[in-house]
Amino acid sequence: MSWASLFLCRGLDVTVIDPDPMTENRLSDFVAAAWPNLRTLGLAESETVRPARVSSEMAELAGVAFIQENGPDRIEVKRDLVGEIERVVGADVVIASSTSSLMASDIQAGAKYPDRILVAHPMNPPHLIPMVELVGGAATSETSLKTAEAFYEQMRRVTIRVKKEVPGHLANRLTSALYREAVYLVAEGIADVDGVDKAIAYGPGMRWAFMGPHLTYHLGGGSGGYRHYLEHLGPTQEARWKSLGSAALTDDLIESLVDGIAKELLDQDEDTLVQRRDAALVELMRLKAGFGL
C-alpha cells in the first residue's frame, strides 16, 4: 500500500494484484491518508488523489513497464510469483523484489529470464523513508540494475547498490545488529525495554537521522577526523565488540519484551502513533533537505 501510494503520487498508472477482496477499499483509505504527507514533501504530481487498478488476476499485468513484487518473504512463494508474472509480462520488464532477507540469486533460480530479477528493498513506510537498496543476483544484468536505479530515482528515492549478496542485504543487517544487543540488554537485566528505546531515540538516533556511523565517528575524531578516532579510540570499540551478546528468544524473554512495550505505550496514544510517526518523518525529511543532509 505504501509503495502504491508513492507510485500513484508520482503520476504513474498503477495496477495492484492481491487476492484479498478487501484490498481495494483498504488501499483507497491508505492512499487518501498518505496523500497530504506526500504533497507536503513535494512528491505528489497533482492535488487529486489518483486511483489504482486493483485485481486478483495476474493477467492484469499485461503491458506493464515495471514490477514491484511484494509477496510473502518465503523463497517458494517468491519463485511461484515470478513464474506467474513471467507468463504475463514482457521479457525486458524488471521484476524488483521487496524482500527483507532473501537473495536475488535464490529468487531468480528457475526463472525464464533471470537477468531481469533483482532485490529492491525499502524501509517501512517506503512512501516516506527514501532509501531503497538494490541487490543483483548471479544472473542479474547491469541493464536491469540501471533501469531499477532510474525508476526509483524518478520516484525520488535514495538508491544504494549493495556490492555483494548477503542475507538481510545492508540496512537490515545493520538494524539486526543493533536489535540483537537491544534484546540482550533486556535479557541480562541491564536495562528495560523503555530504557533501551529512550537510549536510541534520544541518543545516537538523533545523530543517525542526519548522518551514518562512519561520518558520525569522523566528527567524533575532532580535527584529526576518522583516522584520529580509529587510531586513538578504535581499541575501546574493539573491547566493546568483544562484550556484545546475543540472547535466545525464549517464551519468557518474549513475554518480557512484549510486557515492556505495553508499559512503554502507557504514556502514548497508541491509536495515533503511526500518524504521529509519519508526520514526524515528513518534518524530518524537510529538515534534512533544508540543511543539505
Strand (E) or helix (H) holding 189:
none
CA angle 58, 59, 62 (to 5 degrees): 115
Q: Is 223 exposed, middle or buried (0-12, 13-18, 19+ CB in 10 A)?
A: exposed
Joined together, the cell numbers standing for residue 252 give 519468557
Cell of 132: 531503497
Give the Cβ contact number of residue 52 at 10 Å.
20
Q: Where are the domains of the chain?
A: 2-161, 171-290
pLDDT at 234: 96
| Confidence band of 125 (pLDDT split at 50, 70, 90) | very high
Percent of the chain with pLDDT over 70: 100
As a whole-number percent, the residues of the chain with pLDDT over 90 amount to 97
Q: Determine the angle formed by the axes of helices 171-187 and 251-264, rounding to 10 degrees.
A: 100
Measured CA to CA, the distance from residue 109 to residue 157 in angstroms comes to 28
Q: Can you say whether the dihedral through the CA atoms of 212, 292, 199, 220 is positive or negative?
A: positive
Query: In the prediction, which pLDDT does 177 show?
Result: 97
pLDDT over 90 (residue 271): yes
Residue with cell 477482496: 21
Residues 89, 196: Cα–Cα separation, whole Å: 47
Q: Distance (Å, rounded) from C-alpha 139 to C-alpha 40?
A: 40
pLDDT for 94: 98
142-155 pLDDT per residue, tens: 999 999 999 999 99
The pLDDT tens digits for 192-218 are 999 999 999 999 999 999 999 999 999
pTM of the predicted protein model = 0.93
Q: Please, which pLDDT band fits residue 108 given cuts at 50, 70 and 90? A: very high
- Give the pLDDT band of residue 50 (cuts 50, 70, 90): confident
Compute the average pLDDT of residues 62-83: 97
| Residue 287 pLDDT | 96
| CATH class of the region 2-161 | alpha beta
Q: Hey, what CATH topology would domain 171-290 get?
A: N-(1-d-carboxylethyl)-l-norvaline Dehydrogenase; domain 2 (1.10.1040)
Look at residues 116, 27, 1, 8 and name the one whose alpha carbon lies nearest to residue 67. 116
61: Cβ–Cβ under 8 A, 6 or more apart, which residues? Answer: 15, 17, 67, 85, 88, 89
Cβ neighbours, 10 Å, residue 217: 17
Q: 226, 217 in Cβ contact below 8 A?
A: yes
Position 18 confidence tier, pLDDT thresholds 50, 70, 90 = very high
Q: Establish whether the linkage from the previous residue to 125 is cis, with ω within 30° of 0.
A: yes
Residue 43: half-sphere exposure toward Cβ, Cα within 13 Å: 30
Mean pLDDT, rounded, for 223-232: 96
C-alpha 81/C-alpha 70 separation (Å) is: 10
Across all residues in the chain, what is the average pLDDT? 96
Residue position matching grid coordinates 510473502:
72
